[in-house]
Amino acid sequence: MAFQISPGVNVSEIDLTTVIPSVLTTAGAFVGNFTWGPAKKIILVDTELTLVNKFAPTGPVANSSNSSVYNSSVSFFTAANFLSYGNNLQIVRAANTSQYNAVSNTANLVAVHISNEDVYEDSYLNNDNGNKYGPFAARYVGKLGNSLQVSVCSGSNNFLSWTYKNLFSSAPNTSPYAAAVGGANDEIHIVVIDTKGSFTGTANTVLEIYPFLSKASDATNNGESNYYKQVIFNNSKYIYVMDPVDHANTSSGTFVDDWDQPAANISFAITTNQFVTLVGGTDLAPADGDLTLGWDLFKNKETVDISLVLTGDANITVQQHVIDSIVNSRMDCVAFISPPKANVVNTTNESTKITNWLTSLSRSSSYVVADSGWKYQFDKYNNTYRWIPLNADIAGLCVYTDTIRDPWFSPAGFNRGAIKNCIKLAWNPSKTYRDVLYAAGVNPVVSFPGQGTVLFGDKTLQSKPSAFDRIN
């Protein structure tokens, strides 16, 4: 304490806390189908906005009766529903190996599957790929990449005739780095455009602008690489550079190959202005094997910390894999599962169908929690309503309970068990059917007039009575 000779006010700040609260809430895990974003890699998502930016920049894809058409709505809202209760969800985008990145519209197009940035860095960043893919590829697999176009101006003599010249302060010329080592004409301007409006809703919107990059592989600017291929890799949300752009025709009608060389004593080739449209991106739903491979990324509990496992609309094969290979193997996390949509949506004999599903699942585990169905909720991105399984909400209630109470409190009941964003339930079981379900190990979710929709059970799939047959 400071000593004061005359009367005065002394202000002291004393920290009396004995613990440091966690910034992140209880960790969830999910593997699903998404329209965009890195695949086959664990990505931490903290909010619905982050979910949109990383995995669904145009919102979830509409449902389709054609099973060959990619459908991301259930996966998107499974993740979004969990994030409405917590802020710590680790997501793996599962991608079919026959799903491709959009690539340049060049002759002899070769399909390519680049699942994430690690794959690109290992196999494509520092390689000349033999001009198989053209100059650019979409950042991620999927049909969404077919909306992209990349325009390049590589020299001052083409600048005044370039469509996007007004976006730049001056023409590309020779960088100070190249000039210092005897190089010339290394500067390049690049623009990424949403030609179809698939990302922004407005056709021909400019997405990214890259001024005064360098064709030289060793070029730097303020201590960082200024080589156009590296800068695009480090910063773009939409594209990769594949084969050097100088493989295109120059103004003299010849092909050259010096854009990936060191700057010293090279006068780099200047191509005509390039407008490279990306094509060939495909959407294809992940197979069971793609989903289970995604779940296998969560196997190692020493490297991946999770507590709550959401399964979304996973079928029984994937549910069994999650139970056997993830939660029962790790023994430090709990899986949340829902019955198939066909068992509860627009059908009859729901109770029998749900208990038959559990019988087919043939699993008894204290690390699994089953609920009674699906909910109808509003999709603000497409101004429609969707059926979404409840397992993400049940896991979310556990997060909520952990936050306001402790993990040993039950997440069920009127105080802590209120389900968010529910217009109606696919099936609202009566007391008679709730008794049947609960005896089978299924936790009923019930809508009560004037009281909302509530989780009305907290059992695990532990068939033998014990302290571990309850969630808490």
pLDDT at 6: 59
Buried b / exposed e across 189-227, counting CB within 10 Å, b at 16+? bbbbbbbbebbeeeeeeebbebebbbbbbbbeeeeebbb
369 close to 358: Cβ distance less than 8 angstroms:
no
Question: Rounded mean pLDDT of 93-108?
Answer: 87
Of the pLDDT bands very low, low, confident and very high (cuts 50, 70, 90), residue 68 is very low
Domain 28-97+285-455: top CATH class? alpha beta
Cα 391 from chain centroid? 19
pLDDT at 59: 75
Instruction: Give the contacts of 467 (CB within 8 A, at least 6 positions apart).
Output: none
The per-residue pLDDT for range 132-178, each reduced to its tens digit, is: 888 999 999 999 999 999 999 999 999 999 999 999 999 999 999 99
pLDDT at 260: 86
Of the pLDDT bands very low, low, confident and very high (cuts 50, 70, 90), residue 67 is very low
Report the alpha-carbon distance of residue 122 to residue 118 in Å, rounded: 6
Question: Rounded mean pLDDT of 256-262?
Answer: 82
Of the pLDDT bands very low, low, confident and very high (cuts 50, 70, 90), residue 258 is confident
Buried b / exposed e across 133-158, counting CB within 10 Å, b at 16+? bbbbbbbbbbbbbbbbbbbbbbbeeb
pLDDT at 105: 72
Q: Would the pLDDT of 307 be above 80?
A: yes
328 close to 309: Cβ distance less than 8 angstroms:
no
Q: CA angle at residue 182 from 179 to 183, to 5 degrees?
A: 70
pLDDT at 64: 42
pLDDT at 91: 98
Q: Would the pLDDT of 245 be above 80?
A: no
- Supply the DSSP symbol for 285: P
Report the alpha-carbon distance of residue 194 to residue 19 in Å, rounded: 49
pLDDT at 25: 84
> Which one, of 437, 436, 390, 435, lies nearest residue 417 by Cα?
390
Least confident of 85-89, 174-178, 242-246, 319-323: 242-246
Question: Rounded mean pLDDT of 122-134?
Answer: 81
Report the alpha-carbon distance of residue 37 to residue 93 in Å, rounded: 7
Residue with tokens 């080592």, as numbered in its chain: 181
Task: List phi, psi (to 5°) of 227.
Answer: -65, 125
The per-residue pLDDT for range 358-382, each reduced to its tens digit, is: 999 988 899 999 999 999 999 999 8
Q: Is 17 exposed, middle or buried (0-12, 13-18, 19+ CB in 10 A)?
A: exposed
Of the pLDDT bands very low, low, confident and very high (cuts 50, 70, 90), residue 247 is low
Cα 423 from chain centroid? 26
The count of other CB atoms within 10 Å of the CB of residue 78 is 27
Report the alpha-carbon distance of residue 467 to residue 472 in Å, rounded: 9
When the pLDDT of each residue in the chain is averaged and rounded to a whole number, the result is 89
The residues spanned by each domain of the chain are 28-97+285-455, 103-279
Q: How do strand 374-379 and strand 384-389 relate by DSSP bridges?
A: antiparallel
Report the alpha-carbon distance of residue 320 to residue 328 in Å, rounded: 10
Question: Rounded mean pLDDT of 227-242?
Answer: 96
Q: Would the pLDDT of 181 be above 50?
A: yes
Q: Would the pLDDT of 233 be above 50?
A: yes
Report the alpha-carbon distance of residue 268 to residue 260 in Å, rounded: 10
Report the alpha-carbon distance of residue 279 to residue 460 in Å, rounded: 48
Indicate the residue type of 408.
W
Question: Rounded mean pLDDT of 205-215?
Answer: 97
pLDDT at 13: 59
Q: How do strand 224-225 and strand 89-93 relate by DSSP bridges?
A: unpaired
Spell out the alpha helix ranges (H) of 238-307: 288-296
Q: Which two tokens stand for residue 164?
A: 């996007």
pLDDT at 10: 60
The per-residue pLDDT for range 426-448, each reduced to its tens digit, is: 999 999 999 999 999 999 999 99
pLDDT at 69: 46
pLDDT at 405: 87
Q: End-to-end alpha-carbon separation of the chain, Å?
A: 47
Buried b / exposed e across 351-390, counting CB within 10 Å, b at 16+? bebbbebbeebebebbbbbbbbbbbebebebeeeebbbbb
pLDDT at 407: 80
Instruction: Give the contacts of 198 (CB within 8 A, at least 6 positions apart).
Output: 58, 144, 146, 147
Q: What angle separates helix 431-440 from helix 350-361, to the nearest 10 degrees? A: 0
Identity of the highest mean pLDDT range in 26-35, 109-118, 127-136, 236-245: 26-35
Q: Is 3 exposed, middle or buried (0-12, 13-18, 19+ CB in 10 A)?
A: exposed
